[in-house]
Amino acid sequence: MKNIWKHYIILVRNYKKQFILFLLLLIIAWAFSSLEPLFFKWFTDTIINKNWFILVRLLIFLAIFELLYNIFDTFTWRLLGLLRINIARDTRLKVFSKLQELDMSYHVSRSTGSTISILKRGDSAIDTVLVIFFMFLGGPLFSFIVTFVILAMINIPVAISVLIFAILFLLTMKFLLENNFKWRRAYHDSEDKITGKIGDSLMNMVTVKHFAKEKWEDNCLFELFKPWTNNYVNYDKSFKIMDFIANMIKTLNIITALFIGFYYFKQGLITAGSFILLFSAIMKINNELHYLIYNYREFNKALVDVEKYLSILEEVPLVKDPEINTDIKDVDTRIELKNVTFNYPGNTNNVFKNLNLTINSNEKIALVGKSGAGKTTIVTLLLRFYDVVSGGIYIDGINVKNFKKKDLRSLFGIVPQDPIMFNDTIKYNICYGKQKASMSEIIQACKTANIYDFIESLPEKFDTQVGERGIKLSGGQKQRLAIARVVLSNPKIIVFDEATSQLDSESEKEIQDAFWKIAQTKTTIIIAHRLSTVIHADRIIVFDKGKIIESGNHKDLTELKGIYYKLWKIQSSNISDNIPA
């Protein structure tokens, strides 16, 4: 809870003058609102005394009073509206920026659908908390205090009675609200799981269709709705209990206070106007208590959402930028892994232990081996998606920890196994690594990637929408767009990660041709299962269980007749076996 207000204070500081003016107008508006019961006393006593001259003056004064109240109230809401929109915008930008900053380990351990659910509720709640706190909690509390003081000035016993019931009301509601908040959190947790499941199913719709698992997905979602329903029922029930008890206490408060007030009126100790004031003040206090609890309840509902939302800002990246940054402009691309030991967070099994590997500048190196041998992990470590447990990774003799992450990653161009495209145009996706590229540069990159003719055959050419995750494109087309993107960004180091493993032979040849064009003057790392992709590499490194067991070019390794030779024989025989007679 403390952290929530810390973030609000930071956000409000940017609008200090507007906020101070808002508070000033708000207090004035509250004061006007709280003085209303006095008019009931003055009007009643004036009418009973038949002092019509004073009555007319009171009516004029009331009209001026209401006009001023409306003016202050209108300007207060206007200022609050400006604060709300600015704070909501600033918070969304901060949370989005934080999500971009956080490590891959944060994102891979969370459901995208669940995160979006938290963001959606949080975006709304950040505004709700601000409005309720100032307008619907502060106002009733201020009004309660002022009205109670007025009540005490008229009749102490009535004021004491009202105070006792108010304390009883607040303590009871505090106990009941704790139970209400517990079910609110449980309901939100189950809601996030449902949203996560729906998002996961939609993002994997092709797989669902392939396996005809629509009914299975329906059943899985139905099962998640069981705890969701239970939590909602308990959450709703807690509201009903609160309303029943609150109404009982308020009724007893009114009856007791009016009984005492009527006694004093009958004894002639207070005037009719004072009795009316007591009645209106008690009703006002009851209403303010009701609003106070109702709004406090809504306030805490929003706080539960804000708590999860702003907790994102409390997350600390495991991989941090150095305090003193090393300039990366003139570094060579010689890569060294020295005694590297690494395991993924939450997993005690080492992927590597004391691994040593050198990749020379402009060398074309291939990493091969079984799935899980550690090939792709090397790239994630080079990019500092994770930090090594011990040992070090060096570029041009400088530890990668001494570079800013964005500078380090700017050295690399990645062509992944399954390129994910933004739901935008072909041009947007190609230019993602270099947004200000000229059209001639884009066309040249596409020609290098053997994708230009395909783009030109489309009705909307470079303005063609590729769909979510690039669903409108084939695997080979996405691969070639990814290569064009790398060509355009012109990195010093290229990583080709299993980029042809799922393609037909014709697409593979086109992509290999495109790849070797751009790899000529670059330090290149190829990760592949298909050994036809790596036969032209300067050096092939064979991994097994995180260890280097063989190293050499294609000719050397086939003559060695080791693991690589066996893999090559298997793949070569599979190719020949599938050639028609």
Taking residues 528-557, report their average pLDDT. Answer: 86
pLDDT per position as a tens digit, 99-135: 888 887 788 777 777 788 788 888 888 888 878 877 7
- Confidence tier at 519 by pLDDT (50, 70, 90): confident
Backbone angles phi, psi at 213, to 5 degrees: -105, 25
pLDDT of residue 59 exceeding 80, the answer is no
Higher pLDDT: 525 or 315? It is 525
Determine the pLDDT at residue 40.
Answer: 67
Question: What sections of 35-136 are H helices per DSSP?
Answer: 36-48, 52-101, 104-108, 112-131
Residue-averaged pLDDT of the chain: 82
- CATH topology for 333-411+528-575 is Rossmann fold (3.40.50)
Query: Are 503 and 475 contacting, i.e. CB atoms less than 8 angstroms apart?
Result: yes
pLDDT given at position 2: 58
Question: 448 vs 320, 364, 456, CA distance in Å?
Answer: 36, 19, 14
pLDDT in tens, 370-395: 777 788 889 889 989 888 999 999 99
User: Which residues have C-beta within 8 Å of that of residue 437, sequence separation ≥ 6?
Assistant: 431, 445, 488
Read off the pLDDT of each residue in 531-540 and give the average, rounded to a whole number.
84
Residue 187, both tokens: 């309901």
Cα–Cα distance between 461 and 466 in angstroms, integer?
A: 11
What pLDDT is stored for residue 341 in this prediction? 92
Coil, strand or helix at 554: helix
Element (H, E) at 524: strand 523-527
Tell me the CA end-to-end span of the chain in Å, nearest whole number: 74
Residue 360 has pLDDT above 60, yes or no: yes
Beta carbons of 455 and 472 less than 8 angstroms apart: no
- Residues 63, 65, 71, 73: is their CA dihedral positive or negative? negative
What is the pLDDT confidence band of residue 303, given thresholds at 50, 70 and 90?
confident
> Which stretch of 388-392, 438-442, 576-580 has the lowest confidence by average pLDDT?
576-580
Residue 114: predicted pLDDT: 75
Lowest mean pLDDT among 32-46, 267-281, 293-307, 459-473: 32-46
Asked if residue 581 has pLDDT above 50, the reply is: no
Q: Is 470 in contact with 478 (CB distance < 8 Å)? A: yes
Equal CATH topology for 2-314 and 333-411+528-575 = no
- Asked if 283 and 99 touch (Cβ cutoff 8 Å), the reply is no
Rounded distance, CA 364 to CA 394, Å? Answer: 18
pLDDT at 574: 53
Map tokens 């990645």 to a residue. Answer: 414
CATH number of 2-314: 1.20.1560.10
- Cα atoms in the 13 Å half-sphere on the side-chain side of 57: 6
* Residue 471 Cα distances to 173, 466, 474, 555, angstroms: 53, 7, 8, 40
- How far is residue 414's CA from residue 349's CA, in Å, rounded to a whole number? 27
Domain boundaries, the chain: 2-314, 333-411+528-575
Q: Has residue 162 got a pLDDT over 90?
A: no
| Position 338 pLDDT exceeds 90 | yes
Q: Is the pLDDT of residue 339 over 90?
A: yes
DSSP 28: H
pLDDT tier for residue 508 given thresholds of 50, 70 and 90: low
> Residue 541: what pLDDT?
92
Residue with tokens 């000033």: 24
Look up residue 419 and give its two tokens: 């390129």
- 468-506 burial, b at 16+ Cβ within 10 Å, e below that, comes to eebeebebbbbbbbbbbbbbbbebbbbbbbbbbeebeee
- DSSP assignments along 474-486, one per residue: -HHHHHHHHHHHH
pLDDT > 70? residue 426: yes
Residue with tokens 């230019």: 431
